[in-house]
Structure 1
Amino acid sequence: MDIDLNDLKAFVAVARAKGFRDGARASGYSASGLSESVRRLETQLGVRLLHRTTRSVIATEAGQRLLERLGPALSEVEAAIDVVNGFRDTPTGTLRLNVPVNAARLVLPAIIPPFLAAYPEIQVDVIAEDSFVDIIAAGCDAGVRYEERLEQDMIALPLGPRSQRFAAAASPAYLARHGRPAHPQELLNHACLRSRFSSGAMTTWEFERDGELVRLDPPGRLIVQAGSAIELAIDAAIAGTGVIYLFEDWLRPHFDSGALEPILEPWWPRFTGPFLYYSGRRLLPAPLRAFVDFIKSSR
């Protein structure tokens, strides 16, 4: 069966994006072109791959099985073709990164601009989300994660600051009304601004001092999705709604301006900074190889 590789790529783009318009934005093709490619592919295979409604596009069982096998296979095809890139004086192509929102905000701004300046023919495509995905199946070259969430069969390269802290904070007005907690357990009697992961699990507040570890699940007057909606919680904290617990670097500008005040600082837990991770089971695409070399030379 003679199937056009571009039709397969079109199907993967639409199935991952769960829509023709979003698939077009992600792939650079037109929505009508993707629709025609998927229709042609379904005709050749003789099976429906996508359920189409006016609001969404969802893979059928056959489509989901095909997507699971195609993602890694297409990545291998691209990697094989990319071997030619090694013969160029300047690497070209697209580097696709899957990163948590905090890394996109706190870590990558110091890395991506100088990398793009050093490699003008490389395009970087960053997908920022806090769900834990299979980067190969998702069509990404590499990801950024923290140590406890790294997959064991992946190569990990230190990226950005090697030490970070979580911080607790509240506005001066809130502290004037409710007092300043002296121990983490006192937060159970405060209004707290919480966040949850896309999985639905609530983030735990952890504090540590002199060997004493305190884990809390305080009451939340406001609950937002971690990463994508965290700015709402910060604005609420600045407005005096409650106590927030977040990356210190994210709150630092508000400490400097006086909009928020640090609380319980001796208890702030310190943890290892993020890592760039990627599969060691295949040839590195030229853009990723250039990025890895850039990170190593910058350390």
Structure 2
Amino acid sequence: MERSGLLGDLAIFARVVSAGGISPAAAQLGMAKSSLSARVAALEEQVGTPLLLRSRGGVRPTQSGEQLILAGRALIAQAEAALAEVRGGANRLAGTLRITCVVGVADVILVPLLAGFLKQHEGLSVDVLATDVIVDPRREGVDVAFRFGWLRRPEQGFIARRIGTYEGALVAAPDYIALAGGPPRDAAELAQHSWIGSPAFGGMRQALRLHGPDGRAHELQMTCRIRTTAPTQQREWAIAGLGITRLPRFLVAADLAAGRLVQVLPDHRYEGPSLFAVYSREAAASARVKALLAYLRAHAPQPTG
């Protein structure tokens, strides 16, 4: 629902910034472009300073615009919390929980968990920003950012809580293995193969730590032939026969069963990916966020691998 008044204008301005322009924001909000543009212009006139820097590539906020976005989102959150308390009472959660998550992979784990959570709290709504880009939760007005992979430390000023750790697998297509003259027999041979990697591990040269069947650790440097932010694309590149990659087993289980992929060095282990909840200290005080984290702790699968 479109808000009116100052809070509505602040929400519209934040959407213009996150969408990258007036036109995409208007499409997302279902508003006429002229109407949205007029409200942004009225807000700029009200504060007495430009809020947007406009270019052919889109828009970005001025320094004043950045400050207004942060202040505006805080005001909107306070207003929603007050409305929720009045509508539902102190013990009933209401309002909107804003989250972001990676496309494709975390969805398999996260969506069922969120569905169960929402069934328990009928007064809550959820607004999901699904993207492979790492977004700033404060800038995007996000309560909880879910990261999937190998998070070493959260962004400065944020808290990270591990939700679950999942088994990983090194996989490749049978055609790739055949063209390569057979599967690698040990960690040293693996390092000579084409690698499909992720920016989570660095540039085109990426570290891989394996533990052999004797428990010995092997520190490898893999050279990427392909690097992509999307784990689902890693899977597709592997199926196409372009190299070996590491992925959570649940993402490739059907492919392994069907023979589209085969496991490489199955007697070696490596640290599997984890699902993390990342949130600010301000968000940690929210009743909605507290309830969500408590639910995840109670219902997320136990770590494996």
Q: Is TM (by shorter chain) over 0.5?
A: yes
TM-score normalised by L of structure 1 = 0.80
1:263 matches 2:264: yes
Q: Kindly provide the CA deviation profile for residues 184-213 of structure 1, in whole angstroms up to 9, marking residues without a partner as x.
A: 33234322223335x984583413211413
Partners of 1:168 and 1:268 within 8 A in 2: no
Distance in 1, Cα, partners of 2:253 & 2:285: 37
**Residues 215 and 78 of structure 1: CA distance in aligned 2, closer, same or farther (over 3 Å):** farther
Q: Does the CA-based 8 Å contact 2:205-2:224 persist in structure 1?
A: no
2:303 is matched with none
**Match in the other structure for 2:112:** 110
Q: What letter is aligned with 1:175?
A: I
Q: 1:131 and 1:219, CA in 2 relative to 1: closer, same or farther beyond 3 A?
A: closer
Counterpart of 1:214? 219
Secondary structure at 2:44 match in 1: helix
Q: TM-score, normalised by structure 2?
A: 0.78
Match of 2:248 in 1: 247
Uncovered stretches (5+) of structure 1, i.e. residues with no partner: none
Q: Which amino acid aligns with 1:268?
A: R
| Post-superposition CA distance 1:199-246 (Å, at most 9, x none) | 9845834132114132323241x333x12xx43332232122222222
Whether the 8 Å contact between 1:171 and 1:240 is mirrored in structure 2 is: yes
Partner of residue 52 from structure 2, selected from 45, 50, 53: 50
Give the 3 Å change call, closer, same or farther, for CA 110–213 of structure 1 in structure 2: farther
For residues 152 and 47 of structure 1, what CA distance do their matches in structure 2 show? 30
SS of the aligned residue for 1:259 comes to coil
In structure 1, the partner of 2:195 is: 192
- Quote the Cα distance in structure 1 between the aligned partners of 2:18 and 2:263: 41
Query: Which segment is superposed worse, 97-106 or 179-188?
Result: 97-106
Q: CA deviation at 1:103?
A: 5.1
Work out whether residues 71 and 137 of structure 1, in 8 Å CA contact, stay in contact via their aligned partners in 2.
Answer: no
* Per-residue CA distance 1:90-147 (angstroms, 9 max, x = gap): 5332211122346533321331222233333422222233444442332011122365
Quick one: which amino acid aligns to residue 150 of structure 1? P
Counterpart in the other structure of 1:41: 43
**C-alpha distance after superposition, 1:262-281 (max 9, x if no partner):** 00123231247323243444
Residues 191 and 134 of structure 1: is their aligned pair in 2 closer, same or farther, counting only changes over 3 Å? closer
Q: Which runs of 5+ in 2 are unaligned?
A: 301-305
Residue 150 (1) aligns with residue 154 (2): yes
CA distance in 2, matches of 1:139, 1:69: 11
RMSD, aligned α-carbons: 3.3
User: Is the contact between residue 187 and residue 218 of structure 1 (CA under 8 Å) also seen in structure 2?
Assistant: no
Find the partner of 1:9 among 5, 8, 11.
11
1:288 matched to which residue of 2?
289
- 1:139-178 matches, within 5 Å, as 139-145=141-147, 148-150=152-154, 154=158, 156-159=160-163, 162-178=164-180
Identity level (%): 28
